Structure 1
């Protein structure tokens, strides 16, 4: 495969890039800021052996393909992802390496489960663990979402066993097939920096060592996001201590070398943000935590497989000794697989970075589906049907519509915002949200009832993203800026009116961007907004990260992650059964 003009454009940038494609390669071994040059097809030196690493991250239980029209179902317009196609892609890449006499290890950088679609979430993500077993995963680091149901549940994911959860009564059903128990992960969950509080005992194994032919060994250190306690439910990690990623990994290097291991790979659930997210085989202007971590990890660590930010990149970032080191990430939802070819010196047993290459492959859907994964998905699609069809409440109208009025407010938007505001999972340290914000684009369909009954599946169709609710502190000034961002910046051409609860205001569509909200019209709980007062608000994690052109959310403080938005929605409908849509009177317009 030759590089296209677009590929060559991506190679221009402040950082060196490593690419490997059939018949073409890029040399990795230039200091940050150097020029990347194209080389002849990579061939292992007679004194070296090559080991193929296949890596993914942030799968989040996306077993079935996501719609190709959604951002979660394509890469730069190419339909991508789905466990059946991912499994096929992995097998194709392994076969190509085997034909060249190379062995393979398949690894991941966390968040394989959690924030999952109903097909996996309804069964406590047991289907995803089973899918990863089928795909031949060898090891993964633990991500923050692996703690969504608590660390004891994470241990069950590793060891197996069933939960007594009421046989689907709460829209979840562990071990739904009475003929078989959940066996747990065949692969190793790794987390070197998560300890039982006040002990030196790690929750899970800190690393694993894979042996290859000629006696070569590669160590994989698993690293969890240090900030996990601040972004997951407190009860899920109570009793655990999360330590610094760099300090922990560096402390393990002497131990591994004492065991005669020189080839070391870190599987890190933390990542970066390239300036151009479309440049998935490059990393122009990358920023974020990964840059500082990469610059401080011990030079003896040869490669960093990262995740968490749901970005795809392929970088060379200098280590503390000023030598370039490979840093990769494979987007999310199984849309991309990273292929790394480690070149290991047979004499020193260490990785030769100058001959180590990587390539991010799109998991396209133009290949045959893996038969075993199809059988697994079909099995759980049948098993999820009773949960999907479970009645969770009633509405007094045939539908609750997402169609907005002239001000941009919709009955369904109000319902969802009310549900978020009522959800107790985001209450922390006695701080209860008083305002809720919901992005209209996250409401994917009207809420439809059958004979007045609303099913869990119907509710899930409205909110299928499994976003987490996030509470945070915002000042009155920040909330004003947020409301103006509905009509300015990237939202100036096509306004995005947030659906709200607990707040009312008036805006003038004819006013200039930045001054559309009528001064003095904003009220919270019926009282005028005060610029210097801090208010507790709740929204979803997508908006919390500044999604949909709302950077004001990123300036908020004391963020706390609660439960899933779909759970809040379903609980609210059950608690307000039957539900009657109210008037759209929270947002008004003037001229």
Structure 2
């Protein structure tokens, strides 16, 4: 419900109440027992603190943390609200945050007034000790993981309840089961991620049946549209995340209120606000309306940024500018991530891209230079590439923005069959991203049939014109993330003679660009 419609509704309610006072005092008492409040949500913020400078802001423009705070206040004026996120607050972050270990973002989220958050897969990037220590300790709000266990025991709180005017609002947080594949497996050793829908339903049942909650909101770090139909009648509202999509819908249910669900894209581009009316006499929700706000709306663009957050972001930007200004090399042409037709760069991780291939080349060349090893193949995962590389001067900031995760680079031996199996594993049906295309260094080529059955799509693969021999051994350079089987490339974890070269992924790309990077054609 928009701010203006909300004001209209309040005015109408006041008029009705005044009429009822004269003729029907009982009805007036019932009106007094209807509580209006809202639950506000963002997802996949990833440390995008700064506003995107543009003369023509649209729905895809980043508003930045300071305007986001102003918008939160704007849509919730004269109304109680609870501020939430659906995970990936930090990790894989914008340069302004990544270069400072996400400390600015952890500060800003507290200033934003976040009340509760689901845990995202990127909160596990540096392992569960970092999550339970640094991230949890620096967050003035609970991070929930109802489907997360450590050595068989709950690792995080399953739910959180906050009361507004006598209405108990329960939140259940969950994270995608693919977390185990999206971070280095060594970072989550002993951690299990069960089905997020089942875990939410179970906790929602407990909250409602025990009387701990009147309303249950699911904060799920997984694609809302894909999973919404699985929630039971005790889940009233769902805010999704993880897949960086914008979506919204309503699912009608027999004998219960409809499930209202939404997902707010990424990077603070969209603020979601669920206006809820709850009747304490009947114990039922009377209405839910979710509105998604973005910079294409004139009233949003006109808001003055919050002063306190503006100051914190400015300090972070100044520090990042100083640290990132060093020019590391030159690019004679820009390189890009994969994209869907008509969509922005990076919108499709399932197609080959010049930038993925460039980083694969960098892994191969830099490891060979540093160690003297004869490296046959470099590999890069598309999910680890978070921005494009410009033509001309390339700075440290550019490179770290492209690769913000800080994975170590290593090399070792894989069989030809391991490599072929990794090619087949690019297709991952049933996931929110059914294909994850690997970047492969120059000289490696393969043919495939995308219509073939799972596991039988690769027709042929060659290295420097020679067919890959399934029984032969090849020296491969890539991140420890992939050698741990990350992104569900399990066969890469079969690596033998693994050697960590002691370099971070961004420094390897730095070195490659400094040495005069060559871009693969295609």
Query: C-alpha offsets along residues 92-138 of structure 1, whole Å, 9 cap, x if unaligned?
Result: 1121xx1xxx3111111111111101211122212111111111110
- Give the Cα–Cα distance (whole angstroms) in 1 for the partners of residues 201 and 129 of structure 2: 28
User: Paired residue for 1:376?
Assistant: 312
Q: Give the aligned partner of residue 147 of structure 2.
A: 193
CA RMSD of aligned residues (A): 4.8
Partner of 1:116: 93
Q: Is 1:66–2:17 an aligned residue pair? A: no
Change (3 A) 1:126 1:400: same
Alignment of 1:319-334 (within 5 A): 319=253, 324-334=258-268
What is the SS of the residue equivalent to 1:92? helix
In the superposition, relative to structure 1, how do residues 151 and 204 fare at CA in structure 2: closer, same or farther (>3 Å)?
Answer: same
**CA displacement 1:444-463 (0-9 Å, x = unmatched):** 313637xxxxx5235346x3
Superposed displacement of residue 150, structure 1: 1.4
Aligned counterpart in structure 2 of residue 253 of structure 1, from 199, 204, 207:
204
Determine the C-alpha separation between the residues in 2 that align with 1:341 and 1:535. Answer: 58
Among 44, 49, 53, the alignment partner of 2:39 is 53
Which runs of 5 or more residues in structure 2 are unaligned?
15-29, 336-351, 368-374, 428-437, 452-458, 480-486, 494-499
- Matched-pair contact (CA < 8 Å) for 2:97–2:104: yes
> For residues 36-68 of structure 1, what are the alpha-carbon distances to aligned partners after superposition, in whole Å with 9 as ceiling and x for unaligned?
xxx999969714211111111111110012355
State whether residues 221 and 264 of structure 1, in contact with CA within 8 Å, keep that contact through their aligned partners in structure 2: yes
Change (3 A) 1:466 1:41: farther
Pick from 130, 152, 163: which aligns with 1:211? 163
Residue segments in structure 1 that go unaligned for 5+ positions in a row: 1-19, 26-38, 161-183, 273-285, 425-431, 450-454, 483-497, 508-513, 515-519, 541-554
Q: Distance in 2 between matches of 1:310 and 1:469?
A: 26
Are 2:400 and 1:419 equivalent residues in the alignment?
no
Question: What are the superposed Cα offsets for residues 60-80 of structure 1, whole Å, 9 maximum, x if unpaired?
Answer: 11001235599xx841xx644
Q: Within 5 A, what are the aligned runs for 1:56-455?
A: 56-66=42-52, 68=54, 74-75=58-59, 79-95=61-77, 98=78, 102-160=79-137, 184-199=138-153, 202-213=154-165, 215-256=166-207, 257-272=209-224, 288=226, 290-291=227-228, 294-295=229-230, 297-319=231-253, 324-352=258-286, 355-363=287-295, 364-389=300-325, 399-402=330-333, 415-421=358-364, 434=377, 436=379, 443-446=388-391, 448=393
Greater shift after overlay, 249-258 or 355-364?
249-258
| Change in 2 beyond 3 A, CA 1:51/1:580 | closer
SS in 1 for 2:73: helix
Aligned length: 433
Distance 1:206 1:265 in 2: 12
Counterpart of 1:358 in 2: which secondary structure? strand
Q: 1:320 to 1:206 in 2, by over 3 A?
A: farther
Per-residue CA deviations over 1:382-438 (Å, capped at 9, x if unaligned) read 3234532468xx66xxx242269xxxx9998875332245799xxxxxxx9935479
Distance in 2 of aligned mates of 1:307 and 1:475: 32
Output the CA distance in 1 between the equivalents of 2:446 and 2:184. Answer: 35
Change over 3 Å in CA distance of 1:191–1:505 after alignment to 2: closer
The 8 Å contact of residues 226 and 243 in structure 1, kept in 2 or not, is answered as yes
CA distance in 2 between counterparts of 1:559 and 1:307 reads 28
The 1:318–1:504 alpha-carbon spacing in structure 2 relative to 1, beyond 3 Å, is same
Query: Higher helix fraction: Structure 1 or Structure 2?
Result: 2
> Any idea what the Cα deviations from partners look like across 1:511-532, whole Å, max 9, x if unmatched?
xxx9xxxxx9973255236899
Cα 1:438/1:302, change in 2 over 3 Å? closer
What whole-Å deviation, never above 9, does each CA across 1:148-191 have from its counterpart, x for those lacking one? 1111211234443xxxxxxxxxxxxxxxxxxxxxxx11122111
Instruction: Determine helix, strand or coil for the equivalent of 2:117.
Output: strand
- 1:334-369 deviation line (CA, Å, top 9, x unaligned): 1111111122121243423xx211111114433211
- Secondary structure of 1:305's counterpart equals strand
Distance 1:23 1:198, change over 3 A: closer
CA contact (8 A) 1:48 1:346 kept: yes
Partner Cα separation in structure 2 for residue 444 and residue 54 of structure 1: 35
2-side partners of 1:534 and 1:89: how far apart? 57
Following superposition, the deviation at residue 260 of structure 1 comes to 4.0
8 Å Cα contact 1:52/1:104 also seen in 2: yes
- Please state how far the C-alpha of 1:225 moved relative to its aligned partner: 1.3
Distance 1:141 1:477 in 2: 31
Report the equivalent of 1:501: 441
Distance apart, 1:265 and its partner CA: 1.0
- 8 Å contact 2:2–2:75 — kept in the other structure? no
Deviation at 1:468, TM superposition (A): 9.0
Cα deviation for residue 558 of structure 1 reads 4.5
Structure 1 residues 478 and 415: alpha-carbon distance in aligned structure 2, compared to 1, 3 A threshold:
closer
Q: Could you say which residue in structure 1 is the equivalent of 2:515?
A: 579
What SS is found at the alignment partner of 1:351? strand
1:457 to 391, 397, 400: 397
